[in-house]
Amino acid sequence: MNVCVIGCGRWGSFLAWYLNGLGHSVTLYGRESSAKLGELKKSRSNGLVTLDEKINITSGLKSALEPAQTVVISVGAQSFRGLMRQLSPLDLTGKTAVLCMKGIEAGTGRRLTQVFEEYKPQTPVAVWVGPGHVQDFTRGIPNCMVIDSKSMEVKKYLVDAFSSSLIRFYYGSDLLGNEVGAASKNVIGIAAGMLDGLGKTALKGALMSRGTREIARLIKAMGGQEITAYGLAHLGDYEATVFSPFSHNRRFGEMFVRREPYGQLAEGVATTSAMLVLGERYNADLPICKAVNDVINGGQDANTVLSNLFLRSIKMEF
């Protein structure tokens, strides 16, 4: 199929590389002002992937979209509404959109498929979530991921088109739960990094147990399936987020408590605020999300906050 990948960052560039390897005709779009786009145009490499000459690299959004049957989007979650404003006047008739980022809109608490449908309600949309790092995939290390959508027809279409020996896809059955689970695991990743930075790595077991229950309760309160938190989009992604050296969110948390600068995007920072919006809206208790927010946005001492969270008085298990 003809595929347009919007977003030329680490993950977007990998998606272009991966889909081209499956035999699809791929166009990779990035903003003209993007340094990452300039680097790819110049050398066709970003240090993680080298793009085949068959991949068209462009800053022309309309021309990139016109031949595409599938539009794969990988941009920062908090920049997504801005992109949708650009896409709004463009014709997406007959196309399917796939959102390949993990986040919730800060301030509104809206899931990314909800933002997409505000602007393009007639265009089928799916999410592609789950564990995996570019550095592992390019070394040939396989993983399992999830594609979810309101439409089973769309899920089958995408799973058939995107599956390989490198990525095995599962059909999602809870779009709400998979979106919330995928976004919130980044907040848990920041908490894990804080534990690493404070020399409390052994508490990650408690973090994973309590974190999954916390998000499961929220998903249920929102009308999703509680069990989804235990699937690939959330708990199944902990290995790649809570432990991996490649996890931006874990690394951000570690460096934050060490008071060291971190120049990369950590989606979990904005998602933390969004989670608290959801917690208040749906009357769900989110103690880990609140603790992370107290540290990164409230200026509270990380050691005190996390000690109070995990080393408090005896209670029934979770």
Taking the C-alpha atoms of residue 149 and residue 155, their distance in angstroms, rounded to an integer, is 6
**How is residue 128 annotated by DSSP?**
E
42 classed as catalytic: no
* CB-CB contact of 72 with 3 (8 Å): yes
Nearest to 298 by CA among 261, 272, 271, 278: 272
DSSP 150: S
Q: Both tokens of residue 183? A: 């976004």
Token readout for 16 is 């272009």
Cα–Cα distance between 89 and 316 in angstroms, integer?
54
Supply 265's token pair: 């995007």
Catalytic option among 95, 102, 155, 185 = 185
Label residue 198 exposed, middle or buried (CB < 10 Å: 0-12, 13-18, 19+): middle
Query: Following CA atoms 231, 236, 241, 247 in sequence, which dihedral angle do they give, to the nearest 10 degrees?
Result: -110
- Are 157 and 254 in contact by the 8 Å Cβ rule? The answer is no
- Say if residue 110 is exposed, middle or buried (CB neighbours under 10 Å; 0-12, 13-18, 19+): buried
Residue whose pair of structure tokens reads 């998979």 in the numeric block: 178
Closest listed residue to residue 185, CA positions, set 233, 132, 245, 254? 233
Q: How far apart are CA 143 and CA 141, in angstroms?
A: 7
Q: Which residues belong to the active site?
A: 185
